[in-house]
Amino acid sequence: MGKFRKLCLAGCLAGSLMLAAACGNGGEAGDGEENGEAANGEDPGSLSLNIGTILPLTGDLSQFGPPMENGARLAVQQIQDCDTMEVNATYEDSGTNEQTAASAADKLINTDDVGVIVGAASSRVSFAVVDTAAQNGVVQISPASTSPDFTDYEDNGFFFRTVPSDALQGVVLAQIAQDAGYETVNVIHLNDDYGQGIADTFSESFEGEVAQSIAYDPTGTSFDSEVQQASQGEPDAILVVAFPETGSIIMQAAQEQGLVGETPFLFTDGLADPEFPQDAGVDLAGEQGTRPASEGPGAEDFSSAFEEEFDSAPSTFSANTYDAVMLAALAAAAGGDTDGQTIQENLEAVSQGGSEVLPTDICSGLEQAANGEDINYEGAAGSQDFDENGDVSSQYEVWEFDDEGQLSRVELVEPPETS
């Protein structure tokens, strides 16, 4: 682990971790030497991992939540099929709402005794969970929270994410705008950590002018005035940073104001949903956006297994959710226990630097990790190499809506260099 992420927790957090060690906190450490034996090279079958998800099954991100949860369910099933580790999974709805997610986290930690929480999706919702998880020594791995503010957040090393920071996405969007020859781009964005993060990094990176940057209330129901403000000055394009439910209302307003078909739009990963144009009732053919790319040696096998199991294609962030579960299990196997502290201490190590473990290799990967071998999980969504802040990097996909409203890839973009 990086130096910062190895720092010991102080005060009540230290006490909570001592209690977690005594009680197991989602594992079997309190049962004697079974887990210690697994860490010393024995069969990890004695381990029992309690894992919970907090994903948006309802609310503004509900189009993404069920396929994300299915990504977790697929990983749990494949780990269980190895017969080397028991996984007890509890699936909770975030409602794309801070209070709902906070209540779900409290239940997962204090009732379901989890060692790791996979979620949330929205950055503002993940921020409602991060302190409670860290204070209880529970690892949080978000598959979709991209706010740059997480990188330096004082989470005591317990927050990870399998999706890159918007410090990267904002730069990619700026480059796309510049390549298109846009000199002025106005922005309308969610007034939360996600929306503000992308708006800021885009404005800082774009060599042209951002004359208007309009924040909108994610609980709002009408955005006519915000759209009107975003169109002032006749910009060359408008960047919309939104989620599908409120994004649909924004694009309806844009159509009513005569902008659709006249002013190009740029979208972010929060709107990379094939149902979005239909729900908005707006023809968005040719409009482009960005999202982290699910690329790598494990991507194709994951997609095939997902489609076979659920009779549907994975959506944005499904692979990231799948990878989060796989990495948590490998970290538990490597450390010989399933408490949050053990998983936290081993996540960075199993994500890089050793022999390659693909999703199809999960059974042998668990055994290798338990035997003390260095492994490098190469995931369905990419390499997933955690740095000392729990961040990853990845390629970005530039996508566009086709005539049927489906997403098609325009190009892959390498992750930009950031300071």
DSSP secondary structure code for residue 283 in this structure: -
CA angle, residues 298, 361, 363, in degrees to nearest 5:
140
* 104 within a domain of the structure (yes/no): yes
pTM of the model: 0.86
Do residue 252 and residue 272 come from a single domain?
A: yes
Maximum C-alpha span of the chain? 70
β-pairing, 396-401 with 288-292?
Answer: antiparallel
CATH code of 264's domain: 3.40.50.2300
Do residue 181 and residue 267 come from a single domain?
A: yes
Do residue 105 and residue 175 come from a single domain?
A: no
In the chain, the number of structural domains is 2
Work out the number of other CB atoms within 10 angstroms of the CB of residue 37.
15
The range of the structural domain enclosing residue 353 comes to 4-165+296-377
Do residue 107 and residue 229 come from a single domain?
A: no
CA 209 to CA 200: how far, in whole Å? 13
* 210 within a domain of the structure (yes/no): yes
CA 210 to CA 276: how far, in whole Å? 26
Beta bridge partners of 160: 141
* 109 within a domain of the structure (yes/no): yes
User: Would you write out the chain's pLDDT as a tens digit for each of its 419 residues?
Assistant: 443 343 333 343 444 433 333 333 444 333 333 333 444 454 667 899 999 999 999 999 999 999 999 999 999 999 999 998 999 999 999 999 999 999 999 999 999 999 999 999 999 999 999 999 999 999 999 999 999 999 999 999 999 999 999 888 999 999 999 999 999 999 999 999 999 999 999 999 999 999 999 999 999 999 999 999 999 999 999 999 999 999 999 999 999 999 999 999 999 999 999 999 999 999 999 999 999 988 878 999 999 999 999 999 999 999 999 999 999 999 999 999 999 999 999 999 999 999 999 999 999 999 999 999 999 999 999 999 999 999 999 889 999 999 999 999 999 988 776 54
* 385 within a domain of the structure (yes/no): no
Do residue 197 and residue 243 come from a single domain?
A: yes
CA 342 to CA 340: how far, in whole Å? 5
Do residue 266 and residue 180 come from a single domain?
A: yes
Size of the chain in residues: 419
Task: Give pLDDT, residue 29.
Answer: 36
With beta carbons less than 8 A apart as the criterion, state whether 239 and 203 touch: no
Of the candidates 167, 170, 163, the one whose C-alpha atom is nearest the C-alpha of residue 68 is: 163
Do residue 359 and residue 269 come from a single domain?
A: no
CA 138 to CA 20: how far, in whole Å? 9
Do residue 58 and residue 136 come from a single domain?
A: yes
Task: Give pLDDT, residue 42.
Answer: 46
CA 137 to CA 116: how far, in whole Å? 9
Of the candidates 102, 101, 90, 85, the one whose C-alpha atom is nearest the C-alpha of residue 52 is: 90
Read off the tokens for 2: 């990086």
Work out the number of other CB atoms within 10 angstroms of the CB of residue 254.
26
